[in-house]
Every structure is written in structure tokens, then in C-alpha cells.
């Protein structure tokens, strides 16, 4: 855990927007409430300035306007993705007994929608913000920087946070899996995963993975990508497609456990020897998949622990107030070889010493 100097936490006011846009506070108020007679040019200028500053109007009325509610805004990309419920369980456990309650918004892996969700949540003046990822739109980053409460970005430490951050290095996770695959003697490697423009964590794992393969004198021989939700059927279909195209592949690395599980079921149905003929690995360490014919090689992304530690930062910051210092907590991804990575090791399932 590392600490940095606290960022200034003075809430932005109508006066800040007024001074920056060159109009009166009353005019700013009319624009932001969408009332009164204001010219189109003035309205556009005020809205642009407010967005650039990260100003969010306060929806708490009257005598409560200077106070905060005991809610923690939590913004995640998806509720259907099996990764995030475990994170939410950790957040809920970490806030237990603090008087703070999490309220969840879903960004749908869409920066513009994340911006809207963040704006609405900040307008109710929560006591803290927990948000997935380090990549946000310029307007969202401005709002996070302007928020006068603790902000914790979670899941990923490969980048520069606005305030505090808790997660794993996805580049490290990808690199460590590549090293394990190379040590096991596999040479014709395929990658199967999501299209990655908006899934930044998957992109970073892929970068770490291909970089470590290159250092071992290897490369990804074929790739298969998908969009939309992941699932067993999608994993089956992708695995069938890539093996038809490149039947000489001897290892398949999947960007998550769900499609990896589908890939394993396809290989079992096709009579392929796993891991002798072909090895498989996923990512996330999802316990629900423990009943598969073979234990998947995977990387535990420390989901619950991330949620607990993020909640603890919010709780400490709520006590400390403006004096709270940003925290950086980088957890170690835990690689498990399972029964689908090491040839001749079907009694496995142990964690690798790498990354522990």
C-alpha cells in the first residue's frame, strides 16, 4: 500500500462556473435548471464550462444542501458479468458497521453512459465513490477530480488514478500466464476473447500476455474475438471455430473463465486430450465453475478482496475528511494451474508459486 499527497477537496460552486463562464450566478442557475430566458449561445457556454470543470448541481435541498448522505456511489460495468457480484459482496462486507450503504449504478462498458450515471449519483452528494477501471471520459474524470469526497477506482492498477486505487496489474496477470504456458512446453498458442476497445482490462492482459510470449520466443498463432456477453455457448462456438481454422494449436488462452469453460466442454465432447493434446486457461477464478470435468487453469483476480479494501478506504476517508490521503493498493494476481495446463498433472489444482 502506498500513499500520495491528498488532492484538494473543495466542492465546486455556482460562483466557480459563473466566474469561468463570465455570466452571473443567477444565469448559471437558470441554465443548469433549464429555466428562464437565456440565449442559446450563453446556455451552450455555461454548459460547456460546467462540464469542463466537472461541476454537478446539488439535488439535496434546503438546510441539507451543505451535508452529505450516508450512501457510497458504486459504478460497475455490468450486473450480468459474474465478476462484479463478488466485488459488490466485498464492498458490502467492508462497509458493514460503518453506517454507510452502497448504491449501485451500471455503466454498460460505455463511457458516455458512465458519465450520465456518475453525474446523477454525484448530484445526491454521496459520502464516497467506488468506480471500476481507470479509463473514463474527459468529463467523467473532471467530475471525479472535482468531487470533494474520496474516489476509489477498482480492479486495475495499470495507470494513473484520480485519487485512490485498488486492484491487480492485468499486464502482470497476462504475463504470468504466458510464462506458465511457455514453461509447460506449449508452442502453438491461440487467444480467444472479447473485442477490446472498451474492455481495457482485457486489453492490458493481452498486452502482458503477448509481451511475455515474445520474450520466450513465441507468439499468438491465431485469435478469435466476440462481442456482447460471455457464456458457455459462446466459448464452445469460438473454440470450434478456431480449431477448425488452426487444428495444430496446442494451447488456448481465454480472456475469461466463462468462455474457457465452454471451450473445455467442446474439447471434452470432441474427444481431445486435455491437457495432453491441448491446454486451456481462463481468467477470474470463478468458483461457480468448480464442477467442470477438469479444473480450469485460471488467475484469481482477488475480486472480493478488492471490494473490501475499496470500502475500507471510503470508510477511513469519511472519518478523516479532507485530510484523507490517497491510497494505492496493488494485490497480487494468483495463478492456479488447475488440471488443464500442466501435461501429466491431472491431480493438480494447486496455486502456482508465481504471483502468490
DSSP character string of 101-167? EEEEEE-TT-HHHHHHHHHHHHHT--SEEEEE-S---HHHHHHHHH-SSEEEEEEE-SS--SSEEEE
pLDDT per residue over 234-281, tens digit each?
999 999 999 999 999 999 999 999 999 999 999 999 999 999 999 999
- CATH architecture, domain 170-301: 3-Layer(aba) Sandwich (3.40)
Give backbone dihedrals phi and psi of 68, rounded to 5 degrees, phi first: -120, 155
Name which residue leads in pLDDT, 58 or 15: 15
Q: Is 249 helix (H, G, I), strand (E, B) or coil?
A: coil
Lowest mean pLDDT among 35-49, 193-207, 254-268: 35-49
Q: What is the pTM of this model?
A: 0.81
How far, in Å, are 4, 63, 213 from residue 322 at the CA level? 14, 22, 45
State residue 59's pLDDT score. 63
What stretch(es) of the chain map to CATH 3.40.50.2300? Answer: 2-169+304-332, 170-301
State residue 352's pLDDT score. 44
Stretch (H or E) spanning 299: strand 298-300
Name which residue leads in pLDDT, 26 or 235: 235
Length of the chain: 356
Measured distance CA(320)–CA(343) in Å, rounded: 53
Query: Residue 153 above 90 pLDDT?
Result: yes
State residue 194's pLDDT score. 85
State residue 49's pLDDT score. 75
Lowest mean pLDDT among 51-65, 89-103, 111-125: 51-65
State residue 141's pLDDT score. 96
The CATH number of the structural domain formed by 2-169+304-332 is 3.40.50.2300
CB 139 within 8 A of CB 115: yes
The answer to whether the peptide bond before residue 179 is cis (omega within 30 degrees of 0) is: no
316 DSSP assignment: H
Amino acid at each position: 500500500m502506498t500513499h500520495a499527497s491528498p488532492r484538494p477537496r473543495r466542492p465546486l460552486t455556482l460562483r466557480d462556473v459563473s466566474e469561468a463562464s463570465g455570466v452571473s450566478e443567477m444565469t448559471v442557475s437558470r441554465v443548469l435548471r433549464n429555466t428562464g430566458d437565456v440565449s442559446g449561445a450563453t446556455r451552450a457556454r455555461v454548459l460547456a464550462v460546467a462540464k469542463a470543470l466537472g461541476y454537478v448541481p446539488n439535488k439535496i435541498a434546503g438546510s441539507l444542501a451543505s451535508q452529505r448522505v450516508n450512501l457510497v456511489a458504486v459504478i460497475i460495468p455490468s450486473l450480468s458479468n459474474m465478476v462484479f457480484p463478488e466485488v459488490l459482496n466485498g464492498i458490502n462486507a467492508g462497509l458493514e458497521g460503518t453506517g454507510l450503504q452502497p448504491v449501485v449504478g451500471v455503466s454498460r462498458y460505455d463511457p458516455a453512459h458512465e458519465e450520465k450515471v456518475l453525474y446523477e449519483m454525484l448530484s445526491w452528494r454521496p459520502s464516497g465513490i467506488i468506480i471500476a477501471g481507470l479509463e473514463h471520459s474527459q468529463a467523467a474524470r473532471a467530475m471525479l477530480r472535482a468531487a470533494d469526497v474520496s474516489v476509489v477506482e477498482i480492479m486495475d492498477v495499470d495507470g494513473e488514478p484520480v485519487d485512490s486505487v485498488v486492484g491487480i496489474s492485468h499486464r502482470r496477470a497476462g504475463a504470468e500466464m504466458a510464462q506458465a504456458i511457455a514453461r509447460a512446453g506449449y508452442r502453438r498458442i491461440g487467444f480467444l476473447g472479447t473485442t477490446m476497445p472498451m474492455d481495457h482490462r482485457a486489453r492490458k492482459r493481452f498486452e502482458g500476455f503477448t509481451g511475455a510470449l515474445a520474450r520466450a520466443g513465441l507468439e499468438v498463432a491465431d485469435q478469435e474475438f466476440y462481442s456482447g456477453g460471455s457464456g458457455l455457448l459462446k466459448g464452445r462456438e469460438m473454440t470450434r471455430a478456431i480449431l477448425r481454422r488452426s487444428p495444430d494449436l496446442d494451447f488456448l488462452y481465454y480472456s475469461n473463465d466463462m468462455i474457457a469453460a465452454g471451450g473445455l466442454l467442446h474439447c471434452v465432447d470432441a474427444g481431445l486430450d486435455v491437457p495432453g493434446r491441448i491446454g486451456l486457461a481462463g481468467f477470474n477464478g470463478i468458483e461457480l465453475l468448480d464442477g467442470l470435468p477438469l479444473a480450469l487453469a485460471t488467475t484469481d483476480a482477488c475480486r472480493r478482496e478488492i471490494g473490501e479494501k475499496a470500502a475500507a478506504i471510503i470508510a477511513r476517508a469519511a472519518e478523516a475528511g479532507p485530510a484523507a490521503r490517497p491510497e494505492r493498493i496493488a494485490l497480487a494476481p494468483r495463478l492456479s494451474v488447475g488440471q488443464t495446463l500442466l501435461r501429466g498433472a491431472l491431480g493438480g489444482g494447486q496455486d502456482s508459486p508465481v504471483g502468490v
